[in-house]
Each structure stands twice: as structure tokens, then as C-alpha cells.
């Protein structure tokens, strides 16, 4: 993000400098005009070179996102095949949780790439019309691909959550002494089945509301394999399958209302909607107050904070 913002500033500076140079040249006349013409030509040539370099960097960024979008698509297809060929209700709790986390990872990745496209679109606005038109075609194409992938992920998420009503249906039948208007003999086994079904529903609901949070310095988070430093020193959170889960604090989305950060200087590394929480500073700590749990955990079951 820092790189793209820096690129936007460079492009804006080029536009301003070009306009300034043109005005200065226009206002010069007489014997001293020629040196300024030479200097202006040199400046314009340098500005043109900078513009070309900035344009190429934007193209490279778009190519990177296009490759990443294709990778997410391939991973989504594999995940889709796994979920569609599996009876979700028969999976163990840990396997269901793993599939849900994989869906969230894909949803998170799509959201992050859309944000990067928005940043690139802002930078494109400072280019010449031809370059702008060409790059916006690529941006719009990538945005359409991400929209299609988002739709597929939402369908997978719905299929995973559809196991809950199946359990509820079984409970409703065993709660009644009649099925299809025919009396049913209530035996000890019937009661036990009823209890087992209710316990299964409770276990499943608890699974759906599991969440985790981790707070630490860069060294602590790296040593526990939670974050990984990449090119340009941009810190990213590793995917769920690579997380060292023992470092995380496990919680329940329904009851977790606050998370205390023992520092005022911190960075939230995972994606959470800014409208879903607020911050409150007290002494030397910061309290994260979760206002909208559903929105807060929409893209991630993990909350990772990097403290200074």
C-alpha cells in the first residue's frame, strides 16, 4: 500500500511540475529565453521518463494481481470440488472448521485484491488518456473476475452453513410424539437420540462462533509463524493452515466484546471492517470494542495485532 501511495504522489508531482515548467517557459522572452528552453526540454524529458517508469510499475502491479487472481480461482475450484463432493453433516468438527477457515481465507484474499485495485485505479487517474484507457480495461476485467469469485465463495459458505438446519429438522422430529400424524412410542432410546441431537446442534453452533486473536511484537509473531516478511518489507498474515494455533487465544464471537492491547502503538494485520469496531485508549493500553461481531469477523476468524 505504501508503494502505491508513493507512486500516486510521484505521478501527481510530475503533473504539477510539467504545468509549472510550461507556464514558466511561456512567460520568458528576450535574449535569456534559449537557456530556459534547453533547461525546460531537459526537465520535460526527465518527467517523461518518470511517467513512463511509473506507468510500467502500475502495469507490473496489475500483472501481479492478475496472477494472484488466477491462483485464488484455482484454489477455489479445488475447494469447491471438495465441498460439493462431501456430506458436510458427517464431517468431524475439526474438518468442518478447517473448511470454513479455507473459505474465509479465499474471501479475505478477494477483498484484499479489490482494495489494491482501488489504489491502482487512483494512481491511473494521473496518467495520459491512452494509458489510462488501456489500464482501466484491465482493472475492470479483474474486478469482474473478483466479483464472480466472490459469488462462488458465498455459495460455498452457504453450503457449509446449511448443515445446521439438517440437525434442527431432526430435533424437531424427535421433540414430537407424532410423525406424519402417527403416534410414536417414546422410549429411552428416543430420549437419548433427542439429547444427542441437541448436543450436536450446540457443538455445531459453538464451532461456527469460534474465533482467535493474537497480540505480539514482530519478533514474537514471526517466531510463532503467524506473520511472514515479504518483498518491500510488507508484512502479511499467513494463511490459516500455516498458523501456529497454540499462540492464539480462543474466544466466542457471541461473547467477545472487547480485546485489550497492551500498547498504544499497534497495527491490525488482519482485515476487519473499520465500522465494526472502535478503539478506546486507557493509560498505556488500547481497548478494541467490537460493535458489530458479524461484520467484524466477516473476512477472518483471526484477529492479529502487531505492537511496537
Give the angle 127-133-136 at the CA atoms, nearest 5°: 95
Q: How far apart are CA 75 and CA 147, in angstroms?
A: 16
* Residue bearing the bigger pLDDT, 10 or 41: 41
* Tens digits of residue pLDDT in 47-90: 566 667 777 888 888 888 888 888 888 888 888 888 888 888 78
Residue range 277-297: mean pLDDT, rounded: 92
Task: Give me 110's grid cell.
Answer: 478477494
Percentage of the chain beyond pLDDT 90 is 19
Number of residues in the chain: 308
Please give the pLDDT value at position 179: 42
DSSP string, the chain: -HHHHHHHHHHHHHHHHHHHHHHHHHH--STTHHHHHHHHHHHHHHHHHHHHHHHHHHHHHHHHHHHHHHHHHHHHHHHHHHHHTS-GGGS-HHHHHHHHHHHHHHHHHHHHHHHHHHHHHHHHTTS-HHHHHHHHHHHHHHHHHHHHHHHHHHHHHHHHHTHHHHHHHHHHHHHSSEETTEE----HHHHHHHHHHHHHHHHHHHHHTEEEEEEE-HHHHHHTTSEEE-GGG-EEEPPGGG--GGGSEEEETTT--EEEES-SSEEE-S---GGGEEEEEETTEEEEEES-HHHHTSS-SEEEEEE-
Give residue 169's Cα distance to chain centre: 35
DSSP β-ladder status, 210-216 and 302-307: parallel
Please give the pLDDT value at position 275: 92
At residue 23 the predicted structure's pLDDT band, cuts being 50, 70 and 90, is: very low
* Residue bearing the bigger pLDDT, 148 or 94: 148
Please give the pLDDT value at position 30: 46
Residue (of 277, 299, 5) closest to 126 by Cα position: 5
Please give the pLDDT value at position 46: 53
Please give the pLDDT value at position 49: 63
pLDDT at 42 over 60: no
* Tens digits of residue pLDDT in 218-263: 999 988 888 875 533 455 666 666 667 788 999 999 999 999 999 8
Q: How far apart are CA 53 and CA 265, in angstroms?
A: 35
Determine how many CB atoms are found less than 10 A away from the CB of residue 112.
15
Q: How far apart are CA 202 and CA 9, in angstroms?
A: 53
Please give the pLDDT value at position 170: 42
Please give the pLDDT value at position 141: 92
Please give the pLDDT value at position 158: 85
Please give the pLDDT value at position 276: 93
At residue 189 the predicted structure's pLDDT band, cuts being 50, 70 and 90, is: low
Residue (of 26, 16, 52, 17) closest to 128 by Cα position: 52
Residue range 155-161: mean pLDDT, rounded: 83
* Residue bearing the bigger pLDDT, 126 or 188: 126
pLDDT at 213 over 60: yes
Residue range 200-227: mean pLDDT, rounded: 85
Q: How far apart are CA 110 and CA 72, in angstroms?
A: 8
Please give the pLDDT value at position 41: 59
pTM of the model: 0.52
Q: How far apart are CA 206 and CA 23, in angstroms?
A: 68
Q: Do 247 and 304 meet the contact criterion of CB atoms below 8 Å apart?
A: no
At residue 199 the predicted structure's pLDDT band, cuts being 50, 70 and 90, is: confident
Amino acid at each position: 500500500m505504501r508503494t502505491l501511495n508513493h507512486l500516486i504522489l510521484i505521478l501527481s508531482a510530475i503533473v504539477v511540475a510539467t504545468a509549472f515548467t510550461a507556464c514558466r517557459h511561456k512567460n520568458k522572452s528576450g535574449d535569456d529565453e534559449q537557456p530556459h528552453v534547453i533547461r525546460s526540454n531537459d526537465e520535460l524529458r526527465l518527467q517523461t521518463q518518470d511517467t513512463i517508469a511509473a506507468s510500467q510499475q502500475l502495469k507490473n502491479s496489475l500483472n501481479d494481481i492478475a496472477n494472484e487472481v488466477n491462483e485464488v480461482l484455482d484454489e477455489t475450484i479445488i475447494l469447491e470440488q471438495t465441498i460439493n463432493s462431501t456430506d458436510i453433516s458427517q464431517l468431524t468438527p475439526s474438518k468442518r472448521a478447517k473448511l470454513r477457515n479455507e473459505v474465509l481465507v479465499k474471501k479475505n484474499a478477494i477483498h484484499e485484491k479489490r482494495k489494491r485495485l482501488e489504489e491502482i485505479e487512483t494512481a491511473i487517474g494521473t496518467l495520459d488518456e491512452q494509458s489510462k484507457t488501456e489500464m482501466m480495461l484491465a482493472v475492470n476485467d479483474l474486478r469482474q473476475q473478483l466479483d464472480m469469485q466472490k459469488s462462488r465463495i458465498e455459495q460455498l459458505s452457504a453450503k457449509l452453513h446449511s448443515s445446521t438446519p439438517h440437525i434442527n429438522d431432526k430435533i424437531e422430529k424427535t421433540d414430537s410424539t407424532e410423525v406424519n400424524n402417527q403416534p410414536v412410542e417414546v422410549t429411552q432410546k428416543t430420549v437419548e437420540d433427542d439429547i444427542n441431537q441437541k448436543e450436536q446442534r450446540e457443538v455445531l453452533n459453538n464451532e461456527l462462533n469460534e474465533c482467535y486473536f493474537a497480540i505480539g511484537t514482530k519478533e514474537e509473531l514471526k517466531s510463532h509463524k503467524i506473520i511472514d516478511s515479504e518483498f518491500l518489507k510488507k508484512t502479511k498474515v499467513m494463511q490459516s493452515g500455516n498458523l501456529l494455533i497454540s499462540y492464539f487465544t480462543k474466544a466466542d464471537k457471541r461473547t467477545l466484546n472487547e480485546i485489550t492491547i497492551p500498547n498504544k502503538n499497534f497495527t491490525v494485520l488482519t482485515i476487519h471492517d473499520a465500522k465494526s469496531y472502535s478503539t478506546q485508549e486507557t493509560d498505556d493500553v488500547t481497548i478494541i470494542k467490537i460493535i458489530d461481531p458479524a461484520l467484524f469477523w466477516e473476512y477472518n476468524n483471526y484477529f492479529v495485532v502487531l505492537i511496537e
